[in-house]
């Protein structure tokens, strides 16, 4: 049986066309902003009414949300930083939202204020949100909700051609079938065959987006029970680069520290940063080629 028969062509019912933005909720916006700047992002705009800043580089948008209440009341660490939302770029945000609800997703309560956009979204893993964002020509959500920072470049170039490649999600033991079903039914993500990975680590199960431009990685707790705390949540961003070693060189010169021991030793296939304050890390992944048996997933095992 061919791979095509195992993994039929995605239907893409939501019209997904990549990741629009990833949002961090944090009580330490200055520390997170400094780290993002080391990673090559630049603060380009601030929210009109909330303590929220937009960081960009190339095609990547990261939102740092330090608004009071942005961290869930269930957060055990008041100094934590978490990936609180992922926004999917879609053909029609309202249609994508209605389809997700019809397929069983849970709607979120919106709290858009005056002169703010009401972005449709559904509940994701843990306390996270999956937003649906569409674009019409040159108009974007940032034009309404954000004010450009004076003298800040609005479209800073990407270092070493970096772009969003994926997000890693930790899941509970034995919950893999449920999460595959969740993403497949709602958005037509498809699991890659067992043993097919990118990057430097071989962990978890990889789900390919229906637009084939990014991946989700689902990672269960280790069988030996070595990790005492293992919550279901989004834990890491994977960033693609056509030349990982060139990207590592540029980022190292900017002060980013990479893990240099097996099995996460930097190679031409990928690299993993150290854990920074708040438990943040990033993984670089070779892009521009398909997965093979010699690499690892675009986002690595959670720490």
What is the model's pLDDT at position 60?
A: 97
How high is the mean pLDDT of the chain? 85
Please tell me whether residues 167 and 258 are part of one structural domain: yes
- Strand pairing partners for 117? none
In tens, the pLDDT along 23-50 reads 999 999 999 999 999 999 999 999 988 8
Would the pLDDT of 58 be above 80?
yes
Q: Please state the rounded mean pLDDT for residues 47-67.
A: 94
In a domain? residue 292: no
Which structural domain range is residue 193 located in?
159-286
In a domain? residue 206: yes
In a domain? residue 299: no
CATH of the domain at 30: 3.10.180.10
| Residue 262's pLDDT band (cuts 50, 70, 90) | confident
Sheet holding 129-133, edge to edge: 121-123, 129-133, 81-89, 19-26, 60-65, 52-57, 42-47, 146-148
Contact 131, 120 (CB under 8 A): yes
Contact 250, 160 (CB under 8 A): yes
Please tell me whether residues 137 and 174 are part of one structural domain: no
What's the domain count of the chain?
A: 2
CA distance 201 to 34: 27
| Residue 302's pLDDT band (cuts 50, 70, 90) | very low
What is the model's pLDDT at position 166?
A: 95
What is the model's pLDDT at position 43?
A: 98
In tens, the pLDDT along 162-184 reads 999 999 999 999 999 999 999 99
Please tell me whether residues 276 and 163 are part of one structural domain: yes
In a domain? residue 302: no
Would the pLDDT of 112 be above 80?
no
Please tell me whether residues 82 and 193 are part of one structural domain: no
pLDDT above 70 coverage of the chain, percent = 83
- Establish how many alpha carbons lie within 13 A of residue 22's alpha carbon, considering only the half-sphere containing its beta carbon: 25
Encoding tokens for residue 102?
A: 């019809």
What is the model's pLDDT at position 5?
A: 44
Please tell me whether residues 199 and 231 are part of one structural domain: yes
In a domain? residue 246: yes
Please tell me whether residues 173 and 73 are part of one structural domain: no
Can you point out the beta strands (E) in the chain? 19-26, 42-47, 52-57, 60-65, 81-89, 121-123, 129-133, 146-148, 163-170, 190-191, 205-208, 215-219, 233-241, 270-272, 282-286
Q: Which of 83-92, 118-127, 195-204, 231-240 has the lowest mean pLDDT?
A: 195-204
Would the pLDDT of 210 be above 80?
yes
């Amino acid at each position: 049986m061919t791979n095509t028969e195992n993994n039929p062509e995605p239907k893409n019912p939501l019209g997904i066309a990549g990741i629009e933005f990833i949002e961090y909720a944090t009580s330490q916006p200055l520390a997170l902003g400094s780290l993002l700047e080391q990673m090559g992002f630049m603060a380009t705009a601030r929210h009109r009414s909330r303590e929220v800043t937009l960081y960009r580089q190339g095609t990547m948008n990261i939102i740092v949300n330090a608004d009071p209440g942005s961290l869930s009341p269930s957060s055990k660490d008041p100094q934590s930083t978490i990936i609180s939302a992922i926004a999917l770029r879609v053909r029609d945000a309202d249609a994508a939202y209605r389809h997700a609800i019809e397929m069983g997703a849970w709607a979120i309560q919106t709290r858009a204020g005056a002169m703010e956009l009401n972005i449709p979204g559904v509940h994701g893993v843990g306390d996270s949100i999956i937003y649906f964002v569409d674009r019409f020509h040159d108009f974007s959500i940032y034009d309404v909700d954000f004010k450009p920072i004076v003298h800040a470049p609005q479209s800073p170039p990407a270092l070493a051609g970096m772009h969003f490649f994926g997000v890693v999600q930790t899941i509970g033991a034995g919950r893999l079938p449920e999460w595959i079903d969740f993403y497949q039914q709602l958005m037509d993500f498809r699991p890659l065959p067992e043993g097919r990975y990118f990057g430097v680590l071989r962990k978890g199960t990889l789900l390919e987006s229906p637009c084939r431009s990014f991946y989700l990685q689902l990672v269960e707790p280790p069988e030996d029970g070595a990790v005492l705390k293992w919550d279901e949540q989004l834990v890491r961003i994977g960033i693609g680069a056509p030349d990982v070693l060139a990207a590592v060189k540029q980022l190292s010169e900017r002060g980013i520290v990479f893990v240099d021991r097996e099995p996460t030793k930097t190679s031409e296939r990928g690299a993993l940063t150290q854990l920074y304050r708040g438990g943040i890390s990033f993984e670089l992944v070779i892009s521009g080629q398909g997965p093979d048996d010699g690499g690892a997933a675009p986002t690595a095992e959670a720490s």
